[in-house]
């Protein structure tokens, strides 16, 4: 991801490891400040995920992989059984951080399976560190491939609506929904992106708009409730969103408000695509079995620390909703563009 600095544009990943410290772009500070948060141990990394210093399904998957490497490095003994107990406790804490996004669980299970094949604690520590870096590299490459396949959907002059932030900040690099947009722009296509503000945390206004501005990609910021209006006027040609989990029945869990966009897109005959790597597809659960994270009511009652609702007001704040697969035109993955019925058959 290109970030404009005083010395020109510099390429950054959203999250990376140096020795046993995890560095991540502090997304709470954007767009007003660009700061790197440095997590020294796995508990701090779990806290960073929980507090949304780092967010987005692929990015928190990478954070989980790095956190396990940190947990392994922190163990001081040589007994493999005690090491396994230590890692099991760390895994449970990592999975507790965010309950809805599947990449977090996928990364923990993937990493644990590889670490526990080691025959000694030292070998396990080396494996954990090496595999966490490989996990992040694979995640970034998957998102690049999503861009390659998804770019074919974007025509010259396309006007694309996206919801929440599914760019490089939500991933290790490139993004999911924004990866095709990036590649289309870099390929010289004239496009325009409609960016939903995405209440209540305003990830569209704060993060997606910031990302697009860093690469001079044309965009316009709109209120969440304006998307249907612009669709009805014929000003939107294509909708691309990311996903936090795609269940085996082909339903999509994504930022609250995604379901509404999908329904209105269907009503207006506008293609609605979901961009997600294979690590976001949950082969175990149907949609009714997935926990929807309900976040603090303060995210609705306050904006940037200023209360906007009257005292005593009761608010509910689900972080995600479910879009049934029948509203999805196709899934853009690192394997290509797949129709919903094929995704369901694979699972």
Point out the catalytic residue in the list 110, 244, 251, 282.
Answer: 244
What angle separates helix 57-74 from helix 42-50, to the nearest 10 degrees?
Answer: 160
What angle separates helix 57-74 from helix 80-96, to the nearest 10 degrees?
Answer: 150
Cα-Cα-Cα-Cα dihedral sign, residues 97, 102, 103, 107: positive
Residues 28 and 206: beta-carbon distance below 8 Å: no
DSSP three-state, residue 178: helix
**Cis amide leading into 291 (omega within 30):** no
The Cα–Cα gap between 274 and 290 comes to 18
Residues 213 and 169: beta-carbon distance below 8 Å: no
**Helix locations, 97-157, DSSP H:** 102-115, 121-150
Taking Cα atoms as reference points, which of 239, 186, 240 lies closest to residue 217? 186
Please confirm, yes or no, whether 244 is among the known catalytic residues: yes
Residues 162 and 177: beta-carbon distance below 8 Å: yes
- CB half-sphere exposure, 293, CA atoms < 13 A: 19
Residues 73 and 129: beta-carbon distance below 8 Å: yes
**Helix locations, 192-310, DSSP H:** 203, 209-214, 227-232, 258-267, 298-301
DSSP three-state, residue 323: strand
Catalytic residues: 244
């Amino acid at each position: 991801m290109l970030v404009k600095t005083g010395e020109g544009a510099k390429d950054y990943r959203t999250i990376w490891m140096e020795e046993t410290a995890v560095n991540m772009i502090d997304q709470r500070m954007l767009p007003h400040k660009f700061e790197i948060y440095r997590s020294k141990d796995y508990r701090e990394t779990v806290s960073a995920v929980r507090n949304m210093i780092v967010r987005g399904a692929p990015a928190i998957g990478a954070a989980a992989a790095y956190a396990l490497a940190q947990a392994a490095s922190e163990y001081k003994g040589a007994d493999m059984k005690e090491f396994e107990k230590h890692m099991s406790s760390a895994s449970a804490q990592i999975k507790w951080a965010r309950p809805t996004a599947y990449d977090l669980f996928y990364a923990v299970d993937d990493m644990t399976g590889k670490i526990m094949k080691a025959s000694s604690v030292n070998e396990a520590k080396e494996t954990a560190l090496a595999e966490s870096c490989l996990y992040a590299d694979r995640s970034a490459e998957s998102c690049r491939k999503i861009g390659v396949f998804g770019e074919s959907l974007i025509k010259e002059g396309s006007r694309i609506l996206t919801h929440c932030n599914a760019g490089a900040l939500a991933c290790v690099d490139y993004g999911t929904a924004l990866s095709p947009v990036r590649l289309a722009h870099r390929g010289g296509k004239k496009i325009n992106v409609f960016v939903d503000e995405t209440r209540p945390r305003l990830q569209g206004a704060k993060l997606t708009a910031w990302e697009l501005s860093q690469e001079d990609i044309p965009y316009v910021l709109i209120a969440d409730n304006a998307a249907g209006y612009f669709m009805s006027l014929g000003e939107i040609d294509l909708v691309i969103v990311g996903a936090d989990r795609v269940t085996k029945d082909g339903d999509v869990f994504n930022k609250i408000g995604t379901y509404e966009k999908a329904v209105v897109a269907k009503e207006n005959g506008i293609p609605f695509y979901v961009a997600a790597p294979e690590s976001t597809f949950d082969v175990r659960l149907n949609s009714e079995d997935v926990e929807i994270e309900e976040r603090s009511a303060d995210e609705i009652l306050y904006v940037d620390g200023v209360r906007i609702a009257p005292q005593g007001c009761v608010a509910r704040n689900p972080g995600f909703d479910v879009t049934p697969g029948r509203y999805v035109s196709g899934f853009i993955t690192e394997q290509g563009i797949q129709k919903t019925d094929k995704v369901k058959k694979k699972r």
